[in-house]
Amino acid sequence: MKISGEIQTQAKAVSTAGSETFVLARSGAKAPSCVAISNSAFLDGERNLPPEEVIFGSSQAMWEIRRNVERAASTDIPVLLQGATGTGKEVLARFLHRCSCGASKPFVKVNCPAIPVSLFESEVFGYEKGAFTGACEAKPGRVELARGGTLFLDEIAELDVNVQAKLLQLLQDGQYCRLGSQSEKHIQARIVCATNKPLKHAVKCGTFREDLFYRISVFPLELPSLQQRNGDIPMLVAYFLEKYGGKYGRDVPPVSNSLLDRLEKYQWPGNIRQLENIVHNYAVFESEQFITNKLEDRDPEWLSVGLTSHGSAGLKKITQQTVKELERRIILQTLEAHGWHRGLAARALRISYGALLYKMREIGLPLKGCRKPFSVEPAGLLNSAGAEIGDTASRSVGATA
């Protein structure tokens, strides 16, 4: 498979069976203003990989990675994928394999910490008959199984130092021996390593061999965090909505603009995996409030809103704004908890009915009728640019044309 060298800069529309998913991404220098992903593109079932445009999105950082992956794909040099948890290292390793000459050959994963030290050699290099008690017949190791394809050494920083020595020769001159054999074999696979721990630091601490580090990091790639590529969030959300909507056989309603804004501002310590889990939950429960609660558990956004939106406004004003926002949230949650029965909510809050109505009016909540919990937009919440969040401009994700 050939990857195009340039990131998509124009609106792209792929129509399959009259069904398209449109995603409006934040505009940027190199970013597409609108990307449409076909349903069939999502179903890259063969290797269970997201489509190329989803893997790379439109951020500058991923654009660089895409160029480097293209370069690496045409060679057989070892590649080291570094990046925080959930940034897509395994996805990228599989993608690199798919782009390589050996794409039709196996992609063999070795989850380094999962193999006990005592078994590592026999698992990875294989063994001959009689090599140890119970070795009734010869067995090829994973290095051999990967012949012509890719050997993916995942979480390599977790490797025991003794095992690292055994890998060194493989990386150094491509030679290895099956356990119990004298004859050397030559590896015929590309080695891709991945780690979410900074290897240089591990080298300094003495938990990772320096010589091995230099062998595996011939071609290092550092994946950006989701926060660094937050402009790709709408597209990723669309992809996951499609994925899980398809899985459960239902049309999941698109995510509102205000929630998308919020998702783009969130820090995402678990990166794309965390976003995927949250959208998965949304596809099941179809409740934005559910997502909001999950985000608030980890990140009191209302607090940072108070800080960022006022810049040099001073402590007094920031505190007033933040307390007001907290009050709004408590009232909203209480109303929701009581099915928007204002009498019950007032009693639960231990304020008079009149005081509750006054506060509801003050914070812009409807006094008449009942609103679904997740249709309530934050009122008076300011984003970092000082603009009001919750404008209903059409930026919905996952809408099916």
In the complex, the residues that contact Mg ion under the rule CB under 5 A are 90
Length of the chain: 401
Q: Which does residue 272 touch among ligand ATP, Mg ion, none (CB within 5 to 8 A, set by kind)?
A: ligand ATP
Nearest-approach distance from CB 53 to ligand ATP, in angstroms: 9
Calpha distance 350→354 (Å, rounded): 12
Check residue 11 and report its DSSP letter.
Answer: -
Distance set, CA 292 to CA 157, 200, 228, 289, 336 (Å): 35, 37, 21, 5, 14
Task: Report the interhelical angle of 117-125 vs 161-173 (nearest 10°).
Answer: 20
Binding segment for ligand ATP (CB under 6 A), chosen from 47-55, 115-123, 289-297, 305-313, is 47-55
| Binders of ligand ATP in range 281-340 (CB under 6 A) | none
CB of 291 to Mg ion, least distance (A): 24
The CA distance from 76 to 79, in Å, is 9
Q: Among positive and negative, which fits the CA dihedral 240, 243, 244, 250?
A: positive
Minimum Å gap between C-beta 85 and Mg ion is 7
* 123 is a site residue for ligand ATP (CB under 6 A): no
Q: Tell me which residue of 215, 198, 220 sits closest to 80, measured CA to CA.
A: 220
- Nearest-CB residue to Mg ion? 90
Residue type for 67, please? R
Pairing of strands 20-23, 35-38: antiparallel
CB 210 within 8 A of CB 203: yes
Please say which residue, 26 or 273, places its beta carbon nearer to ligand ATP. Answer: 273
- Tokens standing for 393? 């401009």
Cβ-based nearer residue to ligand ATP, 87 or 230: 87
C-alpha distances out from residue 115 to 70, 118, 120, 121, 122, Å: 31, 8, 6, 10, 10
Residue 129's φ and ψ, nearest 5 degrees, are -60, 130
* Listed ranges 123-131, 268-276, 305-313, 351-359: which one lies at the site for ligand ATP (CB under 6 A): 268-276
Q: Taking contact as CB under 6 A, which single stretch among the options 82-90, 253-261, 347-355, 361-369 is the one that binds ligand ATP?
A: 82-90
Q: Which two tokens stand for residue 276?
A: 């995927």
Which residue from 90, 160, 222, 299 is in contact with ligand ATP, where contact means CB under 6 A? 90
* Distances in whole angstroms, Cα of residue 235 to Cα of each of 35, 56, 63, 264, 279: 8, 10, 15, 11, 12
Nearer to Mg ion, 192 or 263 (CB): 192
**Least distance to ligand ATP, CB of residue 18, Å:** 25
Task: Name the strand (E) or helix (H) holding 79.
Answer: strand 79-82
Residue 280 binds to ligand ATP (criterion: CB under 6 A): no
53, 264, 276, 301: residue in contact with ligand ATP (rule CB under 6 A):
276
Provide the minimum distance between the beta carbon of 86 and Mg ion in the complex, in angstroms, as a whole number: 8
Choose the one of ligand ATP, Mg ion, none that binds residue 376, judging by a C-beta under 5 to 8 angstroms depending on kind: none
Question: Which residue, among 106, 78, 81, has the nearest Cα to 173 in the 3D structure?
Answer: 78
Contact present, 40 and 16 (Cβ < 8 Å): yes
Does 55 help bind ligand ATP (rule: CB under 6 A)?
yes
For residue 312, the SS3 value is coil
Shortest distance in whole angstroms from residue 226 CB to ligand ATP: 9
- Candidates 83-91, 123-131, 172-180, 279-287: pick the segment binding ligand ATP (CB under 6 A): 83-91
Q: How far is the CB of 16 from ligand ATP (least distance, A)?
A: 19
Check: CB of residue 152 under 8 Å from CB of residue 93.
Answer: yes
Position among 67, 147, 166, 273 found at the interface with ligand ATP (CB under 6 A): 273
Select the residue whose beta carbon is closest to ligand ATP and give its number. 88
CB nearer ligand ATP, residue 219 or residue 302: 219
Q: Out of ligand ATP, Mg ion, none, which partner does residue 231 contact, by CB within 5 to 8 A per kind?
A: none
Residue 50 interacting partner from ligand ATP, Mg ion, none (CB closer than 5 to 8 Å by kind): ligand ATP
Q: Would you say 260 and 231 are in contact if contact means Cβ atoms under 8 Å apart?
A: no
Q: Is 231 in the site for ligand ATP (CB under 6 A)?
A: no
**Shortest distance in whole angstroms from residue 61 CB to ligand ATP:** 12
Taking the C-alpha atoms of residue 195 and residue 95, their distance in angstroms, rounded to an integer, is 17
Q: Which residue in the set 83, 231, 373, 398 belongs to the binding site for ligand ATP (CB under 6 A)? A: 83
Residues forming the site for ligand ATP (CB under 6 A): 50, 54-55, 83, 85-91, 196, 236, 239, 272-273, 276
